[in-house]
Amino acid sequence: MDPAPASAADAADGPSARTPFLSHLRVRDVRTYEVSDVALGPGLTVIFGPNGAGKTNLLEAAYLACTGRSFRQAGDHEIVRRGASAAHVTAEVTTAHGTGKLTVGIEPGERRRLRVDGNPVESLLDHPARPRLSVFLPDRMVLVKGGPALRRSHVDQLVAVLRPSAAPVRRTYHEALRQRNALLASLRARGAGVEQATDELLPWDRAVARAAAELTTARAAVVATINPAVRARAEELGLAGELEIAYRPRSADDADQVAEALRERLAGDLERGFTHHGPHRDDLAVRRDGRLLHRFGSQGEQRLALLALLLGETDVIEQSTGQRPILLLDDVMSELDVIRRARLVDVIAARGQALVTVTEAEHVPGADDLAVGLVSVVPGAAETIRVSTGATPARD
């Protein structure tokens, strides 16, 4: 496979074969599937079937083929179909330069076997041949409603994509923090006073402060970058009011100021035995017209906000990398009214490949258009009914 991604100019032209897309997915012994072959096109594909039939499993197989990982918290034994010894999934990826294959083999107890065009690779995550993906799952609502740790992790994933030179600083920070916390616990156990602790902690204070300032700077820059795109997508989707993703750092973006804050809080840290101040306590606030959405928004509005966040992020990723992420959207139409479903379809159908799961195809406005792909899922099998063309579907 030619590893060159589509250019930014190509990406701006709308859905086409110039943007990498999954053209075929072969699934064997993954979750509920014995063997299924699914043909896909560059535009919107509706994956429909009853609850529990395996629609999410098909999206998981696509994600697995492109990353070598599951988007669920799943071990190998859970991924491999019951009664089978191994699972395999192969994705054909079509680009302007031809077609290539990504293959993942999973055998419990063994290392996962990853291949690109038949050649073994150590990882797919950084391989230039794989397409980027953006995933909506119902349980991702925790990004709006859940605790701050998931939001921090989400921002750090964006840092890795949009500011790759800053990506290692998260690991550097957490390693320095771990060492400082270990020393704090030791000092506490020894009954050390603040003066002794200050001297012994000085090297780790400096390391923590330096990495904390860099991490805070990178996170703030990424959040500022995505905000305009998120607001624009929220307006398109029909979310009333102005949506804002507000970064709430717990330390400064200056190393000297962080070091001073650590010194000021040393007595409390010594009493607790761990560091209480720093970017490991950062958060994001999802606000609409200045009010926290998880407190003052309906389920449908919270879902629209999450979709606006993910779609806005994919816009920025496309601008930064020149490659338009493929959308994997599971049960995305739930809790949206007919008007907002139609708006969502207009947005996703205009921007490239999207795989959308629903119980009934009719839940997706425009699904009867010949431009829209259809995949029927029944327990244990998936079948392509129609391949998407990449054109924008017409609606009454």
The pLDDT profile of the chain, 396 residues, written as one tens digit per residue, is 333 222 222 333 444 435 789 999 999 999 999 999 999 999 999 999 999 999 999 999 999 999 999 999 889 999 999 999 999 999 999 988 899 999 999 999 999 999 999 999 999 988 888 999 999 998 888 888 888 999 999 999 999 999 999 999 999 999 999 999 999 999 999 999 999 999 999 999 999 999 999 999 999 999 999 999 999 999 999 999 999 999 999 999 999 999 999 999 999 999 999 999 999 999 999 999 999 998 999 988 999 999 999 999 999 999 998 889 999 999 999 889 999 999 999 999 988 999 999 999 999 999 999 999 999 999 999 999 999 998 888 765
Q: Looking at the chain, which residues constitute the CATH 3.40.50.300 domain(s)?
A: 8-132+324-386
Token pair 């998981």: residue: 60
Residue 1: closest CA among 75, 100, 118, 81: 100
Helix (H, G, I), strand (E, B) or coil at 296: helix
> Helix %, strand %, coil % for the chain, to 5?
45, 20, 35
Question: Residue 255: what are its φ and ψ, rounded to 5°?
Answer: -65, -40
Residues 349, 380 contacting (CB under 8 angstroms):
no
Instruction: Let me know the angle formed at the C-alpha of 177 by 174 and 181, rounded to the nearest 5 degrees.
Output: 140
Whether the full predicted model's pTM is greater than 0.95, yes or no, is: no
Contacts (Cβ under 8 Å, ≥6 apart) of 111: none
Distance of CA 386 to the CA centre of its chain: 28
In the chain, CATH 1.20.1050.90 sits at 148-293
Residue 394: what pLDDT?
75
CATH architecture of 148-293: Up-down Bundle (1.20)
Residue 241, classed as helix, strand or coil, is: coil
* Class of residue 264 by CB neighbours under 10 A (exposed 0-12, middle 13-18, buried 19+): exposed
Q: What is the pLDDT of residue 396?
A: 59
Q: Is residue 19 a contact partner of residue 349, using CB atoms and an 8 Å limit?
A: no
> What architecture does CATH give domain 8-132+324-386?
3-Layer(aba) Sandwich (3.40)
Tokens of 237: 């989707």
- Residue 245, classified by CB atoms within 10 Å of its CB into exposed (0-12), middle (13-18) or buried (19+), is buried
CB within 8 Å of 263: residues ≥ 6 apart: 198, 205
